[in-house]
Structure 1
Amino acid sequence: MMPNLIEQIGDWNPQLFRELKGRLKFFNVAIAVATSLLLQVVVFLYQLREFPDDRYSLTGTYCSSYQLYQQQQNQVFEQSDQSRIADFNDFLSNNFCPPNQINSQLWWRDHWEYIFLTFSVIFIFTLLVAGTYLLINDLAKEETRGTLNFIRLSPQSETTILTGKLLGVPSLIYLIILVTLPLHLWAGLSAKIAFDHILSYYAILAASCIFFYSAALLFGLHSRWFSGFHPWLGSGAVFLFLFTTMVFASSYNNSLNNSTAWLRLFNPWDVTNYLFPNLFHISDGSPLTKLQFFYLPLGTSVVSVVSFHLLNFGLCSYGIFQAVKRCFLNPQASIISKEQSYFLVAFCQLMMWGFSVQISLNNERWDERVAGNLVLLAVYNCLLILSLIVVLSPHRQDVQDWARYRYQGVSSRKKLWQELISAEKSPALVAIAINLTIVTIPWLVWISLTSVFDASDRQTWLSNDIDRFKVLLAIALSISLMMICATIAQLILLLKTPKRSFWAIGTLSTAMFLPPMILQFIDIAPSKYPTVWLFSTFPWAAIEYSGVTTIFMAFLAELSVLALLNFQLARRVRLAGESATKALLVGR
C-alpha cells in the first residue's frame, strides 16, 4: 500500500517522490513509529504517577472534604489559639482524604489537559527545530554531492521542487507527529477543550512550519561559507528563538503595546497560551487579549487573533518563498530584487506603525503613545535600510555588465531612471532613496496629525513650528546619512580587492558606531557639545539641544558629502563601461 501511495504522489510531484522514496523505508518508519509510541507511553505514565491514592492529603486539590476543613481552619486561625492551631495542623498532616471523597473525574480532566499541553509544547519544538535542521542539512548534502545543480536543470518548476523539499525532507518528523496526533486530540477533547481551539492550534502550527521551513531553505541556499556548521547554526537559532520567546510569553505580559508586538506574532507561544490559558498559568491571562492594530481590538475574538496570525504567517512565508525561488534559480542573485524591496519596506512600515498606534490604557493620547515608540521605530528602520544596502548593492562585475550593455545603450533620461529603479545590476542608490521615502511617509503623516494641545489645553511635545521643523531636519539628516552609507558601500563593492562584501560591512559598521563610542568614551555628551554630535553618525542625540540654524548647517554639510560621493560613483561607473567597451574593441 505504501509503495503505491508513494508512486501516486510521484505523478503529482516527482521531487516529493524522490524525497519520500529515500526516507520512508521500513527501518526508518519503524524507528519513527516506535519513538512516537514510546513518547506517548512516557508522557502518560509520568502524569499517571500523581494519581490520588489512599495516602492523598486532606488539603489536596481533589479532596472533596477540603472546603469543609478549610472553613474549620479559618475558624481556628481567627481564635488565635496557638495550641489549637498546632493541633489542627497536626491533624491535617497525619490524616488522609477518604477514597470516596476524592474527585477522580476532576483529576482525570486535569490529567488529560496536562497531557494535551505537554504534547503541544513537544510538537512546536520537534517540528520547528528538528525540521529546520533536516532541511538545511539536506541542502548542504545536495550541494556537497553536486546534485543540487542537477535538480536545477530538471524540467520541474522551482515551485514543484521546493514544495517537494518542504513536504518530503521532514517526512519522518511528520510521521512521528501523525502517530501522536490521535492521543493529543483525544486528550484535548477529554479535557473539555473547545474543538475549534484545537483546530486553531493545528492551523497556527502548520503556518509556523511553512514560515520557518521557508526561512530554513533560504538560509541553506545562502550559508555555504559556514562549511558544514550551518545546519546546527540554523536549528540552534530557531531553538534559541523559541526558548526565549517562551520565557517572554510566560512572564512578560505588557509588551504588545508597541511595534515589537509584530515580532511576537512569529512566536507560536503567545497564540498557544491564548487558546489554552493554562499553558503558562498566567493569572492575568494571555497578553493577546489586549492586542490592537490601528485601534482594531483584535484580541477580543479567537477568530480575529488566529486569522491575523495566519495572515501574517501567510504573507511573510509567501515573501520568503519568492526569495527562495529566486536564489534557487540563480545562486549568484541577490535575495530580493529592487521592486520586491519596495513592497517589503512598505509592509514593514504598515505592521510596525499598526502596533504603535493603539488605544492607551493610561489615558495617553495616540501621538504620545507613538512618541514612546520612536526609538524602536528608528532602530528597526535603520537596521532594515542597512540590510537592504548590503543586499541590493551590486558587485563590480554586475555594474560593469550593466554599464557595458545597458548604461551605454540608454538613449533617454527616462530610460535611465527606469534602469536605476528596477534593473538588477544597476547601482542601488535610487532604490535605497525610494525605500527611504517609503519609510519617511508615515513619519511625516504622524508629525502633521500630531495636535498642538490636548483636551485639557496642556501643551505637549511638538507644540510649536520650531519643534516640528527640528524633527523634519532630523529626518532629513537620517536620510542623507543613510544615502552616504549606501554610496560608500557601492564604491567599496566596485573595488578590485577580494572579499569586498566584508570590507563594505566592516567599513559601514566602523563609520556608524565607532565615532559615537569615541565621543562617549572621552565624555563629550550631546547636551554639552551638540554641534559635535550633529556632525557625527548619530546626530539625533543632539537635536533637542541644538538650534535650527546649526541643524540646517549640518544637513547642508552632509548633502555636500553625499554630492561628492555620488559624483565619484557616477565617474567610476562611466569609466567601467568605457573601459569594457575599449577592451572589446581592442580584442576585435
Structure 2
Amino acid sequence: MLANFVDWVGDRNPQLMREWKGRWQPRTVAIALALAVLAQGLFMLAWWSQLPDTQTVAVGERYHTYCLTSAPSAYKACLLDGNNRLMVDWERWYLDVFRSLNWLLPLGGWVPSVLFLAADMQREESRGTATFLRLSPQPAAAVLTGKLWGVPSLCGLMFASAVPLHLWVAHQVSADPQFVVGYYLLLAAGTVLLFPLTLLLAAIAGNQQQRSDIFSGLTLVLAGGLGLGFSLTFLLSNLAIAWEGPDAHYFTQATNFPVYWFGHRLNGTRFISYAFTLANLLWLAGWAWTGLKRRFADPQAPVFRKSQAYLLLGYWYTLGLGFVWEEHGLWGAEALQIWHILILMANLAAIAVLSPHRQTLLDWARHRHHRRQYPWQDLFLAENSPAPPAIALAQAGLVGLTAIALLCANHVTTPERLRVLMATLLLGLWSVLLAILGQRCLLLKTNKRVLWAGGTLASLVILPPLSLAIAGIVPDRIPFLWLFTAFPGAALFGTSQPNLGQWLGVATLASLGSGLVYQKHRRYLQHLGRSEWQQLQTTAHQPNLDRV
C-alpha cells in the first residue's frame, strides 16, 4: 500500500518525491519526532508546575490560581478534600493549557517552516540549481508544489505529532467540535497563503542577492519576520472575527466585541465569520500563487501585471474601507488612521512590485517611440513602464472610492467629508511622490540601487513623523505640520484640526510638487532613452572596417 502511494506521488510530482527522499531519512525523522516529543513534554511540565502544592502552601495562606474555592473569587481560601489536600480546579487548568496550545501551534508550525523554505530557495539561487529547475520539463506548478510541501515536511510531521495532545486537551475542556474543526480549517487556509508568499519573498530576495551580497543574510531575517508577523496577525484578526463570541474564551477572557463590515456584522454567527475569513485567505493565496509562478518562470519579470496590481489594490482599499464605514458615518479618527496606514503599506508594496530596474527602464525609454499609437496603454498597462503613473491611477481610484463612501454615509457633515477626503488625497499624493523617488533610485548605476530605494522611502516615511514626535509636536496640538508627513490622517485627531483652507493649500502644494518632480523624472528618462538610441544608431551606421 505504501509502495503504491510512493509510486503514485513519484509519477505525479517527481520534485515532491525528491524533496521527501532527501529529508525523510530515518535519522532526521527520529530527531524531528524526538524534538517534538521533548517540546511537548517540557510544555506540559511547565504547566504541571503551576498546579498547587500542599507542601508549599501554608494553612493560613491557602490561595492559588488553580484551586477550588467556596466562591468564584481569587481571594477566597482554597478548599481541602478529605485527605487535607488542596482541591485542584482542573477545568480552569485545562482551559489555560488549551489556550496556550491554540496560540503556540501556529507559531511553532509556521515560523520554522518559512525559515526552511527561505533557506532552501536561497541555497538553490546561490548554487545556480534554480535555473535547472526552471528549465526542467516539469510544469512550474509541479516544481513549486514539490518545494512548498516537500521542504517543510518535517515541520509538518512535528506539528502533526502535537495534534493528539491538542485534541486530548480540547476533549478535557469539552471544546465545541465545530470550533476545533474550524480552527484547523483556518490553519490550513493560512498555510496555503503563507507558504507561497514565503517562496515569493525568497525568490525576490534571491534575485537581488545576485546584484548585491547584502541580501544573502537578509533573506532569512525577512522570512522569519514574515512568519512571525503573519502568525500574530492571523491570530489577532481571527480573534476579532472568526473566534469572537462563544469561541473567544478558548484564547482569552475577552468579552464579545462586534465587528462590522459595511454595516453588516461579521462575527455574529460562526458561518459568516468563517466564510469571510476563508474567502479572503484563499483569495490572497491565489494571488500569491499567481505571482510566485510568474516570478519563478522569469526572475526579471514583475511579480504582477499592472492590471492585476490595480485589482489587488482595489480589493485592499475596499476591504479596509468596509471596517471603518458604517451607515451613520465613519468610525473615529483612530480607525481612519489605521486604514490609512494599511493603504500606505499596500502602496509601498505596489511600488516595490511594479517598479522596474535600470536596464528595463532604459529599454522601455529607448523603444517607446515605436508605440505612439497607444501611449496611455503603454504608460499604465505595460509591464516595463515606470511605476509612478500606475500608482497615480490607483490613488485616483482610492480617492473616488472614498468620495462614494462619504456620500453614502449619513449624518456626516460636509466639512467632515472634505477633511477625510483631503486626508486621503494627501496620502495618495505622498504615495505618488514616494513612487517617483523610488523609481529614480532604481535608475542609479550601482548594484545597491534596491538598498538606496528602500532606505530613501523608509526615511521619508519614518523620519518626518518621528522628528515631530521627538519635538513634542503631537497632532492634537499642532495638526497642520502633520499634513506634510506620510500620515496626514493624524491631523484628524483631537479637537483642534486644520481648517479647509489649510487642507486645500497643502493638497495644492503637494499636487504641484509631485507634478514637477515627475516631469523632471520623465525628462530624465527621455534623455536616457535618446542617449541609448543615439548610441545604437551610431553603432549601426559605423562601417565594418574588418571587411575592408
What is the TM-score when the length of structure 1 is the normalising length? 0.74
**Partner residue, 1:422:** 381
Alignment pair present for 1:130 and 2:115: no
**Partner residue, 2:523:** 571
Cα shift at 1:11: 1.0
Cα shift at 1:157: 1.9
**Partner residue, 1:404:** 366
> How does 1:500-539 map onto structure 2 within 5 Å?
500-510=449-459
Q: Residues 508 and 198 from structure 1, CA distance in 2 versus in 1: closer, same or farther, beyond 3 angstroms?
A: closer
**Per-residue CA distance 1:539-565 (angstroms, 9 max, x = gap):** 777897666566555544444444433
**Per-residue CA distance 1:309-343 (angstroms, 9 max, x = gap):** 22222112222222222222222333333222111
Q: 2:189, 2:393 → 1: CA distance?
A: 32
**Per-residue CA distance 1:340-398 (angstroms, 9 max, x = gap):** 2111211111211111125xxxxxx7325255522222333233324423432222211
Q: 1:22, 1:203 → 2: CA distance?
A: 29
Q: Residues 62 and 517 from structure 1, CA distance in 2 versus in 1: closer, same or farther, beyond 3 angstroms?
A: closer
Q: 1:471, 1:191 → 2: CA distance?
A: 48
Structure 1 alignment gaps of length 5 or more: 72-88, 250-263, 359-364, 455-460
Q: 2:472, 2:67 → 1: CA distance?
A: 66
Computed over aligned residues only, the root mean square deviation of the Cα atoms, in angstroms, reads 4.3
Q: 2:468, 2:67 → 1: CA distance?
A: 67
**Partner residue, 2:5:** 5
Q: 2:8, 2:80 → 1: CA distance?
A: 62
- SS of match in other structure, 2:371: coil
Q: 1:574, 1:131 → 2: CA distance?
A: 46
Conserved? CA contact 2:103–2:251, under 8 Å: no
Letter in 2 for 1:158: A
Q: 1:555, 1:54 → 2: CA distance?
A: 70
Q: 2:94, 2:472 → 1: CA distance?
A: 61
Cα shift at 1:427: 1.6
**Partner residue, 1:254:** none
**Partner residue, 1:77:** none
The correspondence for 1:347, drawn from 312, 315, 319, is: 315
**Partner residue, 1:440:** 399
Cα shift at 1:21: 0.8
> How does 1:1-400 map onto structure 2 within 5 Å?
2=2, 4-38=4-38, 96-98=80-82, 107=90, 116-117=98-99, 119-223=101-205, 224=209, 225-228=214-217, 230-235=219-224, 238-239=227-228, 242=231, 264-265=236-237, 271=242, 276-282=247-253, 284-285=254-255, 287=257, 290-358=258-326, 366-369=328-331, 371-400=333-362
**Per-residue CA distance 1:99-137 (angstroms, 9 max, x = gap):** 699999x94x66765665554444222211121121112
Q: Residues 241 and 512 from structure 1, CA distance in 2 versus in 1: closer, same or farther, beyond 3 angstroms?
A: closer
Cα shift at 1:510: 4.8
Structure 2 alignment gaps of length 5 or more: 541-548
Cα shift at 1:518: 6.5
Q: 2:102, 2:175 → 1: CA distance?
A: 13
- SS of match in other structure, 1:97: coil
Conserved? CA contact 1:345–1:438, under 8 Å: no
> How does 1:480-519 map onto structure 2 within 5 Å?
480-510=429-459
**Per-residue CA distance 1:181-201 (angstroms, 9 max, x = gap):** 344334433543222221111
Conserved? CA contact 1:53–1:99, under 8 Å: no
Q: Residues 445 and 326 from structure 1, CA distance in 2 versus in 1: closer, same or farther, beyond 3 angstroms?
A: same
Cα shift at 1:573: 3.0
Cα shift at 1:516: 6.5
**Partner residue, 1:82:** none
Q: Residues 30 and 63 from structure 1, CA distance in 2 versus in 1: closer, same or farther, beyond 3 angstroms?
A: closer
Conserved? CA contact 1:402–1:426, under 8 Å: yes
Letter in 1 for 2:370: G
**Per-residue CA distance 1:419-467 (angstroms, 9 max, x = gap):** 111111112232112110221123212332344xx5xxxxxx6356xx6
- Greater displacement, 44-53 / 566-575: 44-53
Cα shift at 1:13: 1.1
Letter in 1 for 2:406: I
**Partner residue, 2:545:** none
Letter in 2 for 1:226: F
Q: 2:98, 2:466 → 1: CA distance?
A: 51
The correspondence for 1:582, drawn from 511, 528, 534, is: 534
Alignment pair present for 1:462 and 2:413: yes
Conserved? CA contact 1:63–1:103, under 8 Å: yes
Cα shift at 1:403: 2.5
**Partner residue, 1:457:** none
- SS of match in other structure, 1:204: helix
Q: Residues 220 and 523 from structure 1, CA distance in 2 versus in 1: closer, same or farther, beyond 3 angstroms?
A: closer
Q: Residues 126 and 7 from structure 1, CA distance in 2 versus in 1: closer, same or farther, beyond 3 angstroms?
A: farther
Q: 1:160, 1:559 → 2: CA distance?
A: 48
What is the TM-score when the length of structure 2 is the normalising length? 0.79
Q: 2:65, 2:485 → 1: CA distance?
A: 64
Q: Residues 574 and 8 from structure 1, CA distance in 2 versus in 1: closer, same or farther, beyond 3 angstroms?
A: same
- SS of match in other structure, 2:329: helix
Conserved? CA contact 2:241–2:266, under 8 Å: no
Conserved? CA contact 1:214–1:321, under 8 Å: yes
Conserved? CA contact 1:127–1:173, under 8 Å: yes
- SS of match in other structure, 1:314: helix
Q: Residues 272 and 36 from structure 1, CA distance in 2 versus in 1: closer, same or farther, beyond 3 angstroms?
A: farther
**Per-residue CA distance 1:140-171 (angstroms, 9 max, x = gap):** 22223222221111122222112111211111
